Structure 1
Amino acid sequence: MKKIKVVYIHPSQLSERWLQYYKLDELQNIFDIEYWDCSAFANPSFKAQEMLIRPYLYVLRNENELRENLTRIPKDSLIVCDLHKNAENYGIYKIIAKLFRQIIYINFFSNTQGAYKSKILSKLANSSIKDIVCYFLIKRELKIINISSRNSAKSQYRINHPDYEQFQKTINQGNTIINKDFIVYIDNYFPFHPEISKRNSSINPNRLAPLFYKSLNSFFQKIERNYGCKVIIAAHPSSVYAVNPFEGRKLIYNKTCELIKDCKAVCMHTSNAISFAILCDKPIALLSNAAFKEATLEWKKLHTLSNLLSLDIINTDETTISDSLFSPVNSKIANQYKQEYLIANPNANNALLFIKHFKSIYKKYCLVAKNVTLL
C-alpha cells in the first residue's frame, strides 16, 4: 500500500532553514515527499548560503520540467506551494491549475502583517496593483488551503510558528556565542534582497546602499559609545557580502535566536525575527532612514510592525542617542502577540501538527484516492 505523496514546490534551494521549517526529514517517514527546487526560474537571483542534498530533492531547471513532473506524480498528491501569488509567478500557477484543483499554502510569516484587520488590507498595503490582480486570478483558478501560525487566520489548520520551536530549543542552552555585552542588529539584506527589488521595482539598490549603510553605521557608532558595547550583526541567511558593509562589525550567520537570547537589546527594520525578540523579552528599536523609506512597501511593512507592537520608529539619519532608545514591548501586547502569531500548541511540535493536518486535508480533498494507507 502506498503512502500519500506530498510535493513541495519552492522558490529556494533546499537549505537547513526550509528543512527545519517543513520538518522534511521527519515527514519522509510518514509520507512520500518530494522537494522541488524551482529557484532556477522562480527566483534566479537567490542563492542560499548552504544547499543540502536529500533523496527527495528534485532540482527543476524551467517551467517545462515543472509541467513534466506535475504530470508524473499521482493526481491525489498534496501540493504544497510556497511561490508568491503575484504577477511574476502567475504563469507557474496556471501550469499547476491545469493539473490540480487545490494547493496547500503554509504561512510561516503572518506575524509581520498583523496590524491590518483583514488579509485583503494587508495585501493592498504591501503589494503592487499588478500583483494584487494576479493574486485574485490565482485564487479564482485554484483552491488555496491555508496552514498558518496565526490564530485568527481563516484556516482550521494551525501550526506553531517555527521561531517558537527554535526558541524552545535554544532558550535553555547554557553556551553563548559572544562572551561580552552586545546589541544585536537583525540584518534584512537591504536593499539587495531579491524580494525587496520585486516588491519595489523602481528602487536602485546600488544607489541606495551607500546612503543606507552610511546612516546605519553612524547610528551604530553612537549607540556603541552610549551603551559601552559592540553591535553584532545577525546576518540575513540569504545575504552575500563581498565586502562587509557594516564597517568591520562581526557578521554571524544562522544564529539569530541565540544572539537575541544573549543580547542587551535588538535593533531592526522588518524581520520575522521580531518573534525571537518578543519571546526573549528584549528591548527593541525599530530603525528607518531616508534611503529605507524610498522602498515604499518596506516602509509600509515597518509602519505596520510599529503599529502592531506600539513601538516608535527611530530615524537613524537624525537620532540623538538616549538611554530610552530601546523600548520593551508592553507585556499585554507581547502576550497577545504570542497567542495570536506564535503558539498553536505548546505540547506538540510542527512535525506532529503537519502529519495531522496533511492526513485531514487528504481525506477532505482527495477522496478519489485508492489503495492508500494512512500510516
Structure 2
Amino acid sequence: MPSKLFTPLTIGTLTLPNRIVMAPLTRNRANPDGDVPNDLIAKYYAQRASAGLIISEGTQISPEGKGYIQTPGIYSPEQVEGWKKVTAAVHAKGGRIFAQLWHVGRVSHTSLQPNGQAPLAPSAITAKTKVFTPTGFADASPPRALETSEIPRIIAEYRKAAENAKTAGFDGVELHGANGYLIDQFLRDGSNKRTDAYGGSVENRTRLLAEVLAALTSVFPATRVGVRLSPFSKFSDMSDSDPMTTFSAAIARANDAGLGYVHVIEGDTGASRDLPAGADLRTLRKLVKVAYLANNIYDRENAIEAVETGAADLIAFGRLFIANPDLVERLARNAPLNEPQPATFYGGGAEGYTDYPALEEAA
C-alpha cells in the first residue's frame, strides 16, 4: 500500500498524480536582456515534470516588481513567448505548472528599478535585507509609500500577469504573498503603517490580498489559483505584532476566494521550523478550507507523516528538487538523494541547474 504522499489529489478540475510539489525557487538564469525565460530554463523544469505540481520561480508582474537580477518577468511579449517554451516542455513530459506571480515591493534596489526610481512599498520603511544587483549583493534601497490612487494600477498589473500566464500555457497561478514581498508587506503591521483603507485594522491590511485574488480569479477558475503565506517568517526583515490574528484573517480571505490551495511556509523560511511564542500551525491549518500545501525543511519521513495524519494535503520541496530532478521516484523508492550545491543556486548556467543526475544516470 503506497503512502498517501504518492497518491493522486484532485483540486477542482486538476488532478495531481502525487502530492509532491516543486516549490518556487529563484535561480537567476533568465536572459539578462529583458528577463526572458530561455531554453535552459525549459529544460530545467521539464526534468522535474514528475512533480504532482510545479510552481515556477517568482516571476515579476512588472518592471517595478523586480528585486534581483535575471529573474524572469511575465509582462512583456518576449517573456510570454519564453514561458510558452517552458510550459510546452513540462506538458510534453506530462507535468503541470503554475506561475508564481511576484512583486517584490520594497525588497529592491534603485539600480533594478525603471529610471533608477525608489522601490514601492505600503510605507516608506527600508527593509534591512540584501538584494542581488548587477554589481553583486547590496542593501535594499529606501522605498516610497504607494499612493492610494496607485493601488488599482498594481491590481491591474496582477490581472494582466495572470492573463499572460494563461496565454503562456500555465495551468494556473500562485500569488506570492510571503517572504517579505509586496503582499506580505501590506499584511504585516511591522511594514504597513498606512492610515487609509489598506492599513491599520487586519481587515484593511488584508484588503489588497483580497482584491488581487479577485483579479486573479477573474482570469483563471478559482481552483487554479493558490496563495503563498509565511505567517512566522522573519525573511526580508519582516515582523507582525499578532501573526495569529493577521494570518487567520489572510486565510479567511483565501477561503472566501475559493482558491485551489493555501501554501504555508511553516516557521522561518529555509532556516528553521521553530515557531515563536503563541504561534500555532495546527490552528491555522484547521482554518484552511481548501487544500493545504505545507513547506519548509521537509524530508521523506516528515512529509509522509504530515500527509498521512492530515497535517497537510500536499508537501512542497525546494532544495531537494534542485538537486534531484526525479525526486518523486527517489522518495517513492527511498533511494539515495543527490546533495544540493549552494554555490550554484543563484546565477550561472547548466552547472548545478540541469546537470544533476537522475537515478538511472547515477547508477
TM-score, structure 1 normalization: 0.31
TM-score, structure 2 normalization: 0.32
Name the one with the larger helix percent: 1
